[in-house]
Each structure stands twice: as structure tokens, then as C-alpha cells.
Structure 1
Amino acid sequence: MLFYQLGEYFQRRAVHASRRSIQSLLNMKPTMARVLGPDGEFERRPEDVAIGSVIIVRAGEQVPMDGSVVIGSSSLDTASLTGESVPRQVGPHDEVLAGMVNLEGRLEVRVKRSATESSLQKMIALVEQASSNKAKTEQMITRLARVYTPIVVVLAAIVAFIPPLFVGNLEEWVYRALIFLVISCPCALVISIPLGYFGGIGAGSKRGVLVKGGEYLDVLAEVKTVIFDKTGTLTTGRFEVTDVTTSGDVTEAELLTLAARVEMASTHPLAKAIVAKASKTTAFANITEDPGYGLTATDSTDTIYVGSARFMRKLGHSIQDEQMGTSVHVMRNDRWLGRIELMDTVKEDAAAAVAALKRLGYHTVMLTGDRDEVATSVGLKIGIDEVKSELLPHQKVEEVEKLAARGKVAFVGDGLNDAAALARADVGLVMGGIGSDAAVTAADLVLMNDAPSDVVAAIELSQRTKRIVWQNIVLAFGMKALFLLLGVLGLASMWEAVFADVGVALLAIGNATRLIRSN
């Protein structure tokens, strides 16, 4: 029991140290703020920038502090904070948050909050708070250790010294007490139960499911509700062309090629998807960008416009945009040629994984920061029971807490915006291949293959591990109870006592190793 407790102590220390590294992991990413002063631009640490200062954020840079746009227009990648798959368009007076990534034009941002009050710092605090609120589970053997050893020692003392007071023969009863102690030695439990968990952890690692501790397999086996993030978890996080609609003046292939010749000048995720879908072509020679709206190309006497419906309206044309996905419109001179629909694609095994969970009796929920129309469409496509959209990180935590009030919950996510929810859930699973450092650190299990089907595999593994652990508990206690009774009655010698100790331990160990051999 002493060695087992020492092992548990070091395991807890390792897990807690992993959680505390959230802050250090984020601090490893140096962030400088480019401040606009009377004499030009100069760099400062965000902690040294005063509220009200104007900072410059160039294309490709991360927004270092919360504020509002003063000059400039661009699109921002907000996936790390909100999980929204479509970049957000911003212009003057729009709010931007620390952690967002500027994809296009130059922005001048007036700082509204100090670095210590930024969205990133609040995210870290939220993760730490959620971790402290997370229910701690104890394995049954740990609770048993508090009472088992004292009870056995007291009983052995009673066997050794109480009967001789009435029937004499102290030596005989001391011998029976020693047999009692040997038989009651908890080696079978102390060795086979941790081995059962290690077997489960080892079997999971072969499949790419990394478990940070045996206690999380216990909790996962008791889960009633499985909660998913959307972008990067159930979907790939990459855009693909899903539909092409033309006015009839050009074919679908011609529209794609025309758009691609313009979009080749952009690094926007939507532009990359269109270029990948179109046939090989060359870019127009003269292309200009209107940040946050679209691109304009000139070719001899023609002018081609490619961009959002907002871009078309800016040019004076009324365009009806689609709501289920993201639309890129193409116009030549003053004539609308068509629309290209793009959507974040669902992972191949997402629907099958959700269906398998529902067959096993689990309630499935999706929490996302994406738009309601997109979230509902994805939820219907893969068969999720309940969908909640347009949630900020703290709102995800609130939803997790509501669901946790009904029974144990597992949360599956991948991004920085999921870190707090992963920490607050009874057990958190993260997509390790694409997951952020904070999310991987906050989670209890890491799914290295980024496959939703591995969630089902992890749950089945946890249930199999729990079954084997309980088989060992019943075997050990059943055999020991039998031989203890025989020992007290004088029907078992030290040889039987040794078998009840070592023999049962070997049987239990053999049973535990089935987990490792099964994968």
C-alpha cells in the first residue's frame, strides 16, 4: 500500500505540473507590440504599452492587445479564440482581440485594455479556474488503503492473542495469525490494479490515444454525455469548394479558372481553396487588393472583381449572399458572373463516430463559436443531438457546467478557445496533431490521429480497462476471503497462504496483461 501511494503521489505531481505549464507554454511565444509614436513606429512589450496608444498590426502578425481599429480594413483569423472557421472582416471602429491573426492589410489599432486584462490572459485564468473546479476522482484501491491495512493488523492481533485466553496454545494461534497476515497481503491488488491501468494506457498509445493517468480512464468509463467542438474537431478546419453557381455567361469551370487567376495573388484560406479546385492557370499581371473586401484584376479592356457580397455591394451591385457557407462572387466589368460556395469540410469519420456513440447510449452535444447557420448544418449532417453556437470560451465553460450537473461529461476539442472547457469537463480529450499547446496541456487524453472515431475507441478502452480492474478486485478479495477463513480455522498452512498471496497476484497480473495483448 505504501509503494502504491507513492506511485499515485508522483503521478499526481506529474499531472499537476503539466497543467501548470499552460502559462509557460503561452509565454514561450514572444509577442511584441509595434507602437505608433510621433517619430514613427517602435517596438515595445505589450506589458509596457499604455491604454489609448495606437499599435500597428501588419499582415501575418498576431494582434498583441485588445483594442479597436482606427485605420485600415482586413480579415482576421479568430479560430484560436472563438473557433469560427471563416475569417472575420474588420474595419474602422471594429473591435479586435489579442490572439487574433491579421491575414491581409495593415491595421492601426487603439489599445483599450492592458496586456494583463487581454483576452489571452483571461483565457489562461479561465483554464486555471476551470482546473480547480474540476472534480477529483480517487481510485477505489486508494480509498481502501486507508482502512484495509489497519483492519487486517487489528484482526491478526485478535487472532493471535484473544483465542489463547480461552483455549490456550499461544504458539498455534500466533502461527495462524501469521498465516492470516500473509494471506491478507494486498500484493495482488497493489500490483495488478496499477498494471491494469498501465495496460490500458499502453493499449491506447498503440492506437494513438495518449492517456495522462489511469484515473482518467476511470472517469471516461462513467461519462454520460460527449461534447464536441466543431472546427478542427468534427471538421477539418480547411475550406473546400462545395458549389459553383453561374449567371449563364460562363461555364462553372471558366468561372473557377477566372476566379483562380485573381485569387492567386492572395494568401487568404478561401483563395487557396479556389486555386486548388481550379485547373492549372496563370495569374493576371495587374491585381490590386481592397483589404477586407476582395481583389481587382485588369486584363486589357476588362476588369474582374473577386470577393465577398459586401465587395459587390460596395461596387454598387445588389447581391444576395448564401447563408449556409461562405460565398466568393465574381464580376467582370459591371456584370455579375457567378458565385463560388465554400465550406469547412466535415471529417470522414465524424458521422460514424457520432452514430457509434449514440448506439452506445451517449448524449452528443456540439459547442462552437461559429455562426448558427453553419453549426446547425454541420450538426444535422453528422447527427449531433444538441447544437449550441456563437459561444465565447467562457460561455463554453458555462454550457459544460450545465451538462455536468446531469452526469459526467467528456469534452473533445482542439484549440486555445477550448482549453478552459477541456479543463472543466470531467475528462477532456484533445486532437493532438492539430491541437494548440494550451489545449493539449489542459486535456486528460490526447488523440494523436485527430480522428473523431478515436473518441469511441478511447471510451471502449476505458470500459474494458475498468472491467479487467474489477475482475482482479473480485478475484483477489474472493480468493483471500476463502483462504483467510481456512487459515483462521487451522485448515490452511503457510504453503496455502503463499499461494493465496503470490499465486493470486500472478493470476491477476496475467488477467491485466490481456489489455496490452488485445491491441
Structure 2
Amino acid sequence: MAIAEKTEYRLENLTCASCAMKFENNVKSLSSIKDAQVNFGASKLSFQGSATVEDLEAAGAFDGIKVIPLQNKRIEPQIPFFKRKENSITLFSLLFLIIGSIVSFRYAETHPAAIVLFAVSIVIGGAGIFKTGIKNLVRFEFDMKTLMTIAIIGAAIIGEWREGAVVVFLFAVSEALEAYSMNKARQSIRQLMDIAPPTAFVKRGEELVELPTEDLVIGDVLIVKPGQKIAMDGAVLTGYSTVNQAAITGESVPVIKQSGDEVFAGTLNEEGVLEVTVTKLIGDTTIAKIIHLVEDAQAEKAPSQKFVDKFAKYYTPVIIGIAMLVAIVPPLLGGDWSTWIYQGLAVLVVGCPCALVISTPIAIVTAIGNGARQGVLIKGGIYLEEAGRLNAIAFDKTGTLTKGYPEVTDFIVYGEVEKEQLLSAIAAVESMSQHPLAKAVTTYAHQNGAEKRSVSNFQSVTGKGAYAEVDGITLSIGSLDWAHELSSLPKEASQQGAALQHEGKTVMAIVTGTEFKALLAVADPIREESRSVLRELNEIGIRHTVMLTGDHQATAEAIAKDLNVTDVRAGLMPEDKLIAIKELSDKFGRVAMVGDGINDAPALAAASVGIAMGGAGTDAALETADIALMADDLQKLPYTIRLSRKTLRIIKENIMFALGLKIVALLLIIPGWLTLWIAIFADMGATLLVVLNSLRLLRVHK
């Protein structure tokens, strides 16, 4: 069965989380739509089926929602807070409220002039609320604006004009603050969108032309001057420069780029001129994929958000029921109708689910956006929450805890030997070899000033090593056993060689003619940050760390001991790693797997949270993992867990604030102290607390 194609649009004027839920339901109710989802965090609509922009905007007419095709580039004007239309209306409403209050204190609240001023304040500040609320009331749809409309009309009927005006003003302030906070939380996506320049200088024949990035094709050559941003993903054709990749990977230190190196759209060229061959179209660049994944991640509902949505569904009808009981039952038992209707209206106001509905999404949006800015791509609220509940973390060894390529770690000479001369001769022989470790030896030699030497009669000996003539002298490089056959090794050298092998290193002996000269040890070195990261993980409560590797047991145990890893499993194939993850999950519950996203794919998929190293430019890592560390930087792992834990804590606090303040306000009914302005303060106060508490996540850094 063919899967229906998904259509996506950007949304403007999406002001609140409950409005997003209502708009989503309205779109779903269209006969031509099979399924729809509104992403409140990213202000996006996606649906399966067919619908015109006019149909979609009609579904969002209750809140003035505008629907814009994704491909349309828009420059959103940065309107200052006090110049926004809704904020200006709020200020005018406040002005008439103040004047009305002055008149009412001078004369009486029932004075015609005071009533007119309060009524003007209510109409100015609440016109939008009433328009939506009355429509909802006719359709028996009960949301925040419906409850507010009933409460304000009721307040006017029983003569509480001043309280009605206060409620309208405070509700308008609450909505303005909610819109402002969501805009603040969404800035992370806007910043990502603004990273890549809209145009680029391209070589076309002998000419240099400036073209929009949408017009660039694979194979175009970009000219990127110092101080300019690279417009598209590509490979350096010519030039040498440092490039600041912080926008993509979160790396603070610029990276050297030269011919053949990969570069990313949105990164900043710092020093030299680069010619870059375009390798990806605008929709396929790393930054485009990151934006898409971040937006999708913000749309994914976390377990706590699903709970809140389900709770809110039953919460509003219950509040309406309580309000009716408060307004009707006491008067039937002899109470004053005016007093208890007023109390019932206050219950409606205090029961607005605004703070509850926004409590989880604003925290999720803020955390995922902050992570993206720090070079950590979290692919959904569920993974954000799971990362905060981890009990154990399993690491692939090669390329994760270690650098992933061999390096010379030890060069020990014996007797009277010219170290530099010997190193030059070793480099000359290894330059002829195809052995995987040969490059590590030649790189080390050149880094230590080795000179170029002439080589002849090179010969590789299977299972032993290689030899050649350097300046007429035969130099042999190979295993310790082979060296024993060619020469007599000093006892000290044999012991030293055995000790190096016990550390998990590959040891090579160097013999010139029949005389033993030196030992070379090569290993895949431990990353500099691995020790500090594992120590930090232990400090934040991850007590069980496991190393999973295909290497032999001795090498694995030596590295595990050096790093203080609590468990090691060696000699594993990819399918064995999958079994190990399942065993660890049975034993410890929630387990993360950290790997490279390619050969570790089965284990990454089976773990509670799969974390891929080096997501930048690696499609496999971005697609396979739940979380991608874009800069191949293990130090981002403790940051990710701290961010997740803080998000979990803030979500719980938000739900407590949202419900706690309302419960306290509702309890004021018992002594008859609940007023409309206390009710709206409880609602606004809860919303404000939730918003400000969530924005604390912007301050979580590496």
C-alpha cells in the first residue's frame, strides 16, 4: 500500500499551544485531509492529503493563522516588543482601566463614566478573545478563550465592570508574554536558518557571478574569501584556510581546511581564499538536515507531554462542571446568587489550562534548540527524557574512546644510536610498505624531522615484517619473534617489548644487518578527553560504563583499566554488540550506546538511546542515532545528560507550578476569598512561572 505524500507549510500568528491543538483538529476535520500534525515549536503544519492555502487558513481563522509554503523565503521583520499590535492593544486597555479606576475611586464603581471607561478597556483588550470565544460557545467548544468570554460577560451582567476590565488586561498580558517566550524559544531554529548565506560567488567560465543558493548545482565552484560564510556543502578544490565550524558542530576551535577536505554550509572561512566544489544541493546540506531534524524533534511529543495532553482533555470539562456547581448549588441552599455566580466565574478563570498545556512543549523546544546550538542534535522529546534517566552507557572503542587510527606511542633505542638517522632509515623502508601500520610510522618520522633517504631491494615477509637496503645497509622492521631470528635481543628489550604488548600496543623491532637497534610501539591512542568524560559521567551518577570492542581481550582490558571503565567485552562482531546491549538493558534498565553510527547501527537501534559520534556530514549517523554529537566530541556527552536531567526536572516543576497555583486559588472558594483578579493572577502567575522556568534551559552550557 502506497504511503500518501506529506505536505508541509510554515505558519504565522500561531500564538499558543492550545491554539495549535485546535488548528490541528480543524485541519484533520477537512474532508480531503487524511492526517495532520501541527508542530507548535517550529510553527509548521504537515499533513497527508490535499488542501488549498485558503482551506487551511479558514481552519486557522479563529486565531488569524497564516499558511506559507516551505520554499518561500521570508524575511521576518524584528518588531520590538512594545510595537507589536497585541502589546499596543494591551497598553491602551491598561490606560482606560487606570482612568476608569481613578473615576471609580473618586465617585463610585457604578458611576456611568466609570462603567463606560471599564467597558472601553474590556472591548479594546478583549475584542479578539470575545470574537473567538463566542464562536466557540456556539459550537460548544471549550478552550481558554471560551472560559474567559463567559467569565467577562458574567462579570458585566452582575455589575463587576472593574474586575472584568482587570481580567481582560491581565489575560492579554499573559498571552503577550506566552507569545514572547515561545518566540524566544524558537530563536534557536531561526538562528540555524540564518546561518547559511542566501547567495554565493560562483566561477562560471572566467567570470565570477553572485547567484542565489537555490540556483547552485552540484559541481559549481564557489569562491569563498576570508570573513565570508561558505554557502553550500562541498570539498575544497584549492586553497588553505581555517574554518570556524561552531555553527554546525559546536567546536570552538577553528579547523584547518585544505585541498580535498570537506566543508559545510554556514561555516565561516577565516584566513585564506578557498575554492569549493559544491557536492550537495541546498535541500541536502548538513545544515538543512539539521534544521529539518530539529523541527521534527520538537514536534515529537515526549511521554510527559502526551500525559499532559491527555490530562488537559478531561481537565477543562471538569473545571466547567466545578464552576457550575459553585455557581448553582450554594444559592439553592440559601446563598446569595450574585456572590456565588461571581465565585463560579472566578473558577472558570482560574481553571484556564494555559500554563498546563504549555508546561512541557516550551521546555522541550528550548532544550532541543539549546542542544542544536551546542552541536548536539536530539531527535525528539522522548530521547531527551530517556537520556536523563540512563543507568548505564556502553561505548564502542575504536573511534569513540580512542582516536580510531594508529599512532606511534613509543620509540625506544638501545646502545649508541643516532636516533634521528635511524628514524629516517625506518621511514624510508616503511614508505615502501602497504602494511596498515606503515603510515603511522612514516607520519611519526616526518613529524620528528626525518630526512628523505634512498631505498632499494624492498621485500615484505608475510607474517614477520619487511626489510630493504638504506644507504647500502639492510634494515629490517617486524615482530619480536622475527627479531629473535635475525639478532639477539637484550633481556631489557624483551621485557620492555612484552610490557608494551601487555598495554595493548603492537610492538615492532628494528634490526640493522644482524644488530638489534630499537623498539617501535603503535596503538590506536585513547582520546585526550576520554578520561575526563568518564570521570565526569561517574560524578553525575552514571556508575556503570561498558566498552564494547572487536579487539582482542588484552588490548581491550589495558584500555579499560587506563580509563576506569567498569566493564569490558572484547572480540565482538556487530551482532554480538546487539546481544550485549540487550543483556545490559535487562540488567540495568535504560542503557545508552555510543558509537560511530555505521557498524554500530544494530546496537544503536537496540539501546534506550543511541548516540552517534561525528554527525556532521555523516548521513548514517544522523539517520541511525537518536542523538548525534556533531563535532565528534565526547565531551558533549556529559552536557547532553545534564541538559536532559535538567529538562526532566523543569517539566516536573512546570506541571507542579501549573496545577499547584490553581489548586491554591480554588481552595480560596471555601472562605469566599476567590476573586476574578486573584483567579487571573493565579493563571497568569502559573504561565509566567512555567515560561521563565523553561527559559532557564537556555543557560545550560557544556
Range of TM-score over shorter length: 0.5 to 0.7
Matching residue within 664, 674, 677 for 1:482: 664
Matching residue within 529, 534, 543 for 1:349: 529
Equivalent residue number for residue 409 of structure 1 = 591
The answer (yes or no) to whether the contact 1:371–1:390 under 8 Å persists in 2 is yes
Question: Residues 227 and 518 from structure 1, CA distance in 2 versus in 1: closer, same or farther, beyond 3 angstroms?
Answer: closer
SS at match of 1:219: helix
Unaligned runs of 5+ in 1: 15-135
Equivalent residue number for residue 72 of structure 1 = none
Report the more deviating stretch, 187-196 or 321-330: 321-330
Question: Residues 137 and 368 from structure 1, CA distance in 2 versus in 1: closer, same or farther, beyond 3 angstroms?
Answer: farther
1:181 CA drift (Å)? 3.8
1:361 paired with 2:541, answer yes
SS at match of 1:341: strand
Q: Distance in 2 between matches of 1:291 and 1:188?
A: 75
Equivalent residue number for residue 384 of structure 2 = 217
Question: Residues 434 and 145 from structure 1, CA distance in 2 versus in 1: closer, same or farther, beyond 3 angstroms?
Answer: closer
1:373 paired with 2:554, answer yes
The answer (yes or no) to whether the contact 2:486–2:511 under 8 Å persists in 1 is no
Matching residue within 597, 609, 625 for 1:443: 625
Amino acid at match of 1:272: K
1:512 paired with 2:682, answer no
The answer (yes or no) to whether the contact 1:262–1:287 under 8 Å persists in 2 is no
1:141 paired with 2:305, answer yes
Equivalent residue number for residue 468 of structure 2 = 297
Tell me the alpha carbon deviations over residues 206-259 of structure 1, each in whole angstroms, 9 at most, x when there is no partner.
332222222222111111112111111111113222223446474544432221
Question: Residues 499 and 179 from structure 1, CA distance in 2 versus in 1: closer, same or farther, beyond 3 angstroms?
Answer: same
Q: Distance in 1 between matches of 2:454 and 2:352?
A: 81
Equivalent residue number for residue 282 of structure 1 = 452
Q: Distance in 2 between matches of 1:490 and 1:156?
A: 18
1:187 paired with 2:354, answer yes
Tell me the alpha carbon deviations over residues 105-140 of structure 1, each in whole angstroms, 9 at most, x when there is no partner.
xxxxxxxxxxxxxxxxxxxxxxxxxxxxxxx99522
Q: How does 1:243-392 map to 2 (within 5 A)?
A: 243-246=410-413, 248=415, 250-266=417-433, 268-278=435-445, 279-286=449-456, 288=458, 290=460, 294-299=465-470, 301-308=472-479, 322=498, 323=501, 324-362=504-542, 363-392=544-573
Amino acid at match of 1:398: I
Matching residue within 636, 647, 652 for 1:470: 652
The answer (yes or no) to whether the contact 2:473–2:513 under 8 Å persists in 1 is yes
Question: Residues 407 and 8 from structure 1, CA distance in 2 versus in 1: closer, same or farther, beyond 3 angstroms?
Answer: farther
Question: Residues 448 and 269 from structure 1, CA distance in 2 versus in 1: closer, same or farther, beyond 3 angstroms?
Answer: farther
Amino acid at match of 2:508: V
Amino acid at match of 1:446: A
The TM-score, its normalising length taken from structure 1, stands at 0.67
The TM-score, its normalising length taken from structure 2, stands at 0.51
Larger Rg: 2
SS at match of 1:328: strand
Q: Distance in 2 between matches of 1:325 and 1:301?
A: 31
1:187 CA drift (Å)? 1.7
The answer (yes or no) to whether the contact 1:414–1:440 under 8 Å persists in 2 is no
Question: Residues 220 and 330 from structure 1, CA distance in 2 versus in 1: closer, same or farther, beyond 3 angstroms?
Answer: same
Amino acid at match of 1:391: L
Q: Distance in 2 between matches of 1:9 and 1:424?
A: 30
Question: Residues 458 and 295 from structure 1, CA distance in 2 versus in 1: closer, same or farther, beyond 3 angstroms?
Answer: same
Q: Distance in 2 between matches of 1:221 and 1:206?
A: 19
Question: Residues 417 and 410 from structure 1, CA distance in 2 versus in 1: closer, same or farther, beyond 3 angstroms?
Answer: same
The answer (yes or no) to whether the contact 1:156–1:178 under 8 Å persists in 2 is no
Question: Residues 190 and 166 from structure 1, CA distance in 2 versus in 1: closer, same or farther, beyond 3 angstroms?
Answer: closer
The answer (yes or no) to whether the contact 1:224–1:409 under 8 Å persists in 2 is yes
1:380 CA drift (Å)? 0.8
Equivalent residue number for residue 152 of structure 1 = 316
Measured on the aligned residues, the alpha-carbon RMSD in Å equals 3.6
Q: Distance in 1 between matches of 2:482 and 2:337?
A: 99
Q: Distance in 2 between matches of 1:306 and 1:515?
A: 56
The answer (yes or no) to whether the contact 2:453–2:471 under 8 Å persists in 1 is no
Equivalent residue number for residue 612 of structure 2 = 430
Unaligned runs of 5+ in 2: 1-16, 25-36, 47-299
Amino acid at match of 1:331: V
Q: Distance in 1 between matches of 2:606 and 2:566?
A: 21
Q: How does 1:153-172 map to 2 (within 5 A)?
A: 153-157=317-321, 159-160=323-324, 164=328, 167-168=331-332
Matching residue within 578, 593, 600 for 1:397: 578
1:379 CA drift (Å)? 0.6
The answer (yes or no) to whether the contact 1:160–1:173 under 8 Å persists in 2 is no
Question: Residues 299 and 364 from structure 1, CA distance in 2 versus in 1: closer, same or farther, beyond 3 angstroms?
Answer: closer
Amino acid at match of 1:143: F
Report the more deviating stretch, 414-423 or 288-297: 288-297
Equivalent residue number for residue 68 of structure 1 = none
Q: Distance in 2 between matches of 1:154 and 1:137?
A: 24
Amino acid at match of 2:371: G
Equivalent residue number for residue 500 of structure 1 = 682
1:327 CA drift (Å)? 2.3
1:298 CA drift (Å)? 2.8
The answer (yes or no) to whether the contact 1:227–1:366 under 8 Å persists in 2 is yes
1:392 CA drift (Å)? 0.8
Question: Residues 166 and 276 from structure 1, CA distance in 2 versus in 1: closer, same or farther, beyond 3 angstroms?
Answer: closer
Report the more deviating stretch, 275-284 or 347-356: 275-284
Tell me the alpha carbon deviations over residues 434-481 of structure 1, each in whole angstroms, 9 at most, x when there is no partner.
895434422222222323322111111111222222221111110111
Q: Distance in 1 between matches of 2:420 and 2:572?
A: 38
SS at match of 1:305: strand
Equivalent residue number for residue 196 of structure 1 = 363
Q: How does 1:448-459 map to 2 (within 5 A)?
A: 448-459=630-641
SS at match of 1:236: coil
Q: Distance in 1 between matches of 2:539 and 2:699?
A: 27
SS at match of 1:226: strand
Question: Residues 422 and 263 from structure 1, CA distance in 2 versus in 1: closer, same or farther, beyond 3 angstroms?
Answer: same
The answer (yes or no) to whether the contact 1:432–1:440 under 8 Å persists in 2 is no
SS at match of 1:365: strand
The answer (yes or no) to whether the contact 1:208–1:447 under 8 Å persists in 2 is yes
